[in-house]
């Protein structure tokens, strides 16, 4: 749209709907949230010696993500990591914003790594945490590169 004397303001800059880092962060949060409903751990149940003759299979106690002691901290780190998407980075706050978002993403990944096992919930949770960390670090690189280009 060309400039005119009627409208002296330039047209607003177009913004892409979703960048790669934003997609990583949103998919990572979705995976981390869904993983809390899945099985993270199976523990064998202690069976009395007399009852073992009647049981054909082993019994397991299934622990889901919400049964983990730090599930709230893991989910909180993921939510905090995505909440930083609401703030537009400026040259003043881009480093602080990127560091806080990276720390929140790495916190979610490390908490998920603490309970890693071969179960589906643990694998999905770890993948979600790693996507959060990678998306935050990737967004940090995008913020830094766009800041250097603007200066």
* In the chain, % of residues over pLDDT 70: 76
Give the confidence band of 41 by pLDDT, cuts at 50, 70, 90: confident
Interval 54-69 mean pLDDT:
78
- What percentage of the chain carries pLDDT values higher than 90? 31
Contact between 40 and 65 (Cβ < 8 Å): yes
Which run of H or E residues covers position 122?
Answer: helix 120-150
> What average pLDDT does the segment 130-144 reach?
82
pTM of the model: 0.75
Segment 62-101, tens digit of pLDDT: 888 898 888 999 999 999 999 988 888 787 888 888 889 8
Higher pLDDT, residue 83 or 51: 83
**For range 33-54, the mean pLDDT:** 80
Averaged confidence pLDDT in the chain: 82
Answer whether 37's CB lies under 8 Å from 67's CB. no
Strands 39-44 and 60-64, bridge-based pairing: antiparallel
- DSSP letter at 115? T
Asked whether the predicted pLDDT for residue 35 surpasses 90, the reply is yes
Q: What one-character-per-residue DSSP string does 17-77 give?
A: S--HHHHHHHHHHHHHHHHTTSEEEEEEPP--GGGGGT-SS--EEEEEGGGSTTHHHHHHH
């Amino acid at each position: 749209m060309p400039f005119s004397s009627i409208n002296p303001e330039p047209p607003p800059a177009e913004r892409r709907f979703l960048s790669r880092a934003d997609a990583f962060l949103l998919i990572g949060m979705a995976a981390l949230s869904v993983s809390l409903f899945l099985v993270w751990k199976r523990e064998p149940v202690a069976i009395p010696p007399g009852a073992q003759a009647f049981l054909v299979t082993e019994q397991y106690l299934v622990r889901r993500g919400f049964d983990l002691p730090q599930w709230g901290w893991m989910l909180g780190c993921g939510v905090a990591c995505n909440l930083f998407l609401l703030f537009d980075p400026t040259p003043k706050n881009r480093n602080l914003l990127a560091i806080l978002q990276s720390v929140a993403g790495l916190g979610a990944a490390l908490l998920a790594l603490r309970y890693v096992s071969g179960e589906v919930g643990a694998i999905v949770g770890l993948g979600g945490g790693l996507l959060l960390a990678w998306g935050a670090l990737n967004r940090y690189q995008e913020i830094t590169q766009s800041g250097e280009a603007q200066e």
